[in-house]
Structure 1
Amino acid sequence: MTKNNNKAKPIIFLSLMLIISGFLIAACSKVDAEDTNKETIKKVLEHQFTGPDEQFVELFNKDDFTELGKYYTEVYGPYFIESAFDSFISALGGQYPTLATHNGYKLSLKNITIEQSEKNLYLYNFIAKVGCQKNGVEEKTASVEGIVLFSEKEKGKIEGFRYMNDNGLSEILGTSN
């Protein structure tokens, strides 16, 4: 009996190690996906709330919508599924950079907090602290809150993006004085 028992111990040990390794790999994959999704959100928010950059301002001032469309595709396209990209650009993508450019403000992203939903692993909430300044006047800040839904089919791509509350940022950027 002891000979069989001695042979069984390594097999049991190897089996346990394989099971533990499987759990660790699965856990690391979830963390990697979460980190990738958070990085994607950060990139989109950086483009939204830093600048506006010179290329955007130039295209905006030219009223060249074809080139502006190409710009949006280059800047935001890699982060969205196709249908979400179209709705983001038509509803939100140009909102803050356009207001800032039109009224002479510079935007700066100060801080981002991103949390994954416990109920839906594809859903994230964010708060972006944004500074805006015009002509050397004291900088004003606002915390922009929103949600981002990632695609289950196209990993790492945004399926839905919505600002829930900009806490007055639109009003600040809408003033020309």
Structure 2
Amino acid sequence: MRKITPASLLFMCFAFLVAGCSSSQPAESADREAETNIKKVLEHQFTGPDQELLKHLKDPGIATVIGIDGETKPPKKSTPLDQYLQDTYGEYFTENMYEKFVLLHAMSYYFEVEDSSYTINLVEADIREDVDTEDAYFFTARVLFENENDAYTAEVTGKANVNEDKKIERMLYFDDDRLIEKINAERSK
């Protein structure tokens, strides 16, 4: 029978420790990647006005033209606005969710801020893993809506699901703490 020396016992403990730590690193790294993707989307969505986006929105080349006979003529397939949105949000979403996000959420707060003296800024994003659902994350975005005379802070909450590549495949907003109402009220003054 071989005798285990203190040095060999220490080596085995060290080997187990290294093996144990290295197996959790990929999971932690993937979680950070998912959280980073969600945070980047929130930063883009809740920072404005964005002068480049505004320039693209004012471009008449993005408009659908309706003729006298009622025939519609949509803009060319890829406009500078399309490219800008793809460059801004595309890398964080699956293809299907990107299309939905752009249609439903990407500019919902921005449209309301662009013509006012207000700015909107992401102050903090708290993103935490949903312990009950794999690859799902709850988020709370603290958003500051302000001008030189007034400020309003809202907590926007929601949930994002990511795929195996850590791209967002579903994004739901639960509550915006009446942020859109506050923005609309200020615009109508």
Structures share a fold, TM > 0.5? yes
1:67: how far off?
A: 2.0
- In the other structure, the counterpart of 1:39 is 36
Retained in 2: the 8 A contact 1:123–1:148? yes
Q: Secondary structure at the match of 2:139?
A: strand
Percent identity between matched residues is: 26
- Partners of 1:120 and 1:22 in 2: how far apart? 27
- In the other structure, the counterpart of 1:125 is 138
- In the other structure, the counterpart of 1:50 is 47
- In the other structure, the counterpart of 2:75 is none
Paired positions, count:
171
1:104: how far off?
A: 4.6
Retained in 2: the 8 A contact 1:103–1:173? no
- In the other structure, the counterpart of 2:21 is 24
Q: Could you tell which deviates more after superposition, 156-165 or 57-66? A: 57-66
Q: Secondary structure at the match of 2:133?
A: coil
Q: Normalising by the residue count of structure 2, what TM-score does the alignment of the two structures yield?
A: 0.80
1:98: how far off?
A: 1.5
- In the other structure, the counterpart of 1:140 is 152
Alignment of structure 1 residues 1-177 onto 2, 5 Å: 1=1, 4-6=2-4, 10=8, 17-65=14-62, 66-134=79-147, 136-152=148-164, 154=165, 156-175=166-185, 176=187, 177=189
1:171: how far off?
A: 0.8
1:150: how far off?
A: 0.6
1:22: how far off?
A: 2.7
Per-residue CA shift, 1:34-62, capped at 9, x if unaligned? Answer: 11111111111110111121101111223
Q: What amino acid sits opposite 1:126 in the alignment?
A: F
1:23: how far off?
A: 2.1
Retained in 2: the 8 A contact 1:38–1:114? yes
- Partners of 1:164 and 1:102 in 2: how far apart? 26
- Partners of 1:110 and 1:56 in 2: how far apart? 21
Name stretches of at least 5 consecutive residues in structure 1 with no aligned partner: none
Q: Greater share of helix residues, 1 or 2?
A: 1
- Partners of 1:119 and 1:94 in 2: how far apart? 31
Q: Secondary structure at the match of 1:34?
A: helix
Per-residue CA shift, 1:136-177, capped at 9, x if unaligned? Answer: 23111111001110112x2x2111111110010111122312
